[in-house]
Amino acid sequence: MAARSLADLSLSFGLVSIPVKIYPATESKGGVSFNLLHAACGSRVRQQYICVKENVIVDRSEMVKGYEFAKDQYVVFEADELKALQEKSTHTVDIVAFIPDDAIDPVYYDKAYYLAPDKRGDRPYSLLVEGMKQTGRVALARWAWRGKSYTVQVRPSPEGGLVLQQLLYADEVRSIKDLPIPEADVRKAELDLAVSLIDQISQDSFDPGEYQDDEKKRIEAAVDQKVSGKQITVSEEPEHGGGQVIDLMEALRASLGKKTAAAPAKAVAGEAASAGRERKSAKRATPASKTAAAKTTAAKSAARKPARKTRAA
């Protein structure tokens, strides 16, 4: 099915005006939608608005919009007043600046659209795409659409063409500085292992087809079972306790691969357990047995040293 454009626009910068068509880039499917039913008869229920003062049902034709400026105090706006306050839509996306392609934090990204050249717009459109690619910059623009004013980013798509990305305003994005994130020292040995792990599972591209909405699939399968008259069984998973305190180095080593990390981890764990048992035995032993235990420990240490040298060689 051919894509259907939402509108005809003009993308302008300087004295250059490029006729373009705008298309939706995403399709919001969300999760599986459920309807509210009356449990007694299975019929759908209807939402109603009730006046909290008179406790009567209010029809939509009797409603007006009000803004609460103080507790339980409102100023009322009529429909024509609200319409006059809306941004008047224009069919022009005005580029105001070109900025580095990594200058905008993706947390500011909102809805995305595609831009395609319209009649007689092929050459300037391609020129803009190539110009941004060579300079490593993207366009920052203003756009009035459906009663609202937007700040947008126009950037080249890796697959070709242009993407118009609506941006959130500063007061719509919370600052991460407001979160209680304490600073912690990073040990070099831990950092080296973390970098090795990152390198081991790194990819050069992102394939969205590799990732699916598993919850949606489970719900759809359960719906199919219900429709087929099958009984749905739910397996209860064991409850997990609180968070475990783990050894960061050992966790990083284990993540790098069982073959390379399991053996050293077991060796270290074995030595620690052996040393722990020896300390416990030493506490309970008599002075004579302590001396014997010390000799035994020294003998074990001497026996291990040549083995380590052999492995290193």
pLDDT of residue 169: 93
- Average pLDDT of the chain to the nearest whole number: 79
Closest by CA to 98, choosing from 126, 127, 133, 138, is 138
**Who's near 124: CB < 8 A, 6+ residues apart?**
16, 17, 18
Helix axes 258-284, 287-312, angle to 10 degrees: 160
> What is the secondary structure of 40-85 as a DSSP string?
TT-PBP---EE-TTT--EE-GGG--EEEEEETTEEEEE-HHHHHHH
Instruction: Report yes or no: 165 and 143 within 8 Å, Cβ to Cβ.
Output: no
Would the pTM of this model clear 0.75, i.e. be above it? no
Q: pLDDT higher for 36 or 32?
A: 36
For 260, list phi and psi in degrees, rounded to 5. -85, -25
Chain segment 134-181, per-residue pLDDT in tens: 999 999 999 988 888 899 999 999 988 999 999 999 999 999 989 998
pLDDT of residue 307: 43
pLDDT of residue 137: 96
pLDDT of residue 235: 57
Confidence of residue 1 (pLDDT cuts 50, 70, 90): low
Chain segment 233-268, per-residue pLDDT in tens: 665 555 555 555 567 777 777 877 754 544 454 554
Closest by CA to 163, choosing from 31, 310, 313, 11, is 11
Residue count (the chain): 313
Instruction: Report yes or no: 5 and 13 within 8 Å, Cβ to Cβ.
Output: no
In the predicted structure, residue 213 carries a pLDDT above the cut 60: yes
In the predicted structure, residue 53 carries a pLDDT above the cut 50: yes
Alpha carbon dihedral 292, 297, 298, 304, in 10-degree steps, equals 150
Give the distance between the most distant pair of CA atoms in the chain: 100
pLDDT of residue 303: 46
Three-state DSSP class for residue 229: coil
Closest by CA to 86, choosing from 75, 74, 73, 77, is 77
pLDDT of residue 286: 45
pLDDT of residue 273: 52
pLDDT of residue 241: 53
Is 1-26+47-171 a domain of CATH 3.40.50.300? no
pLDDT of residue 259: 47
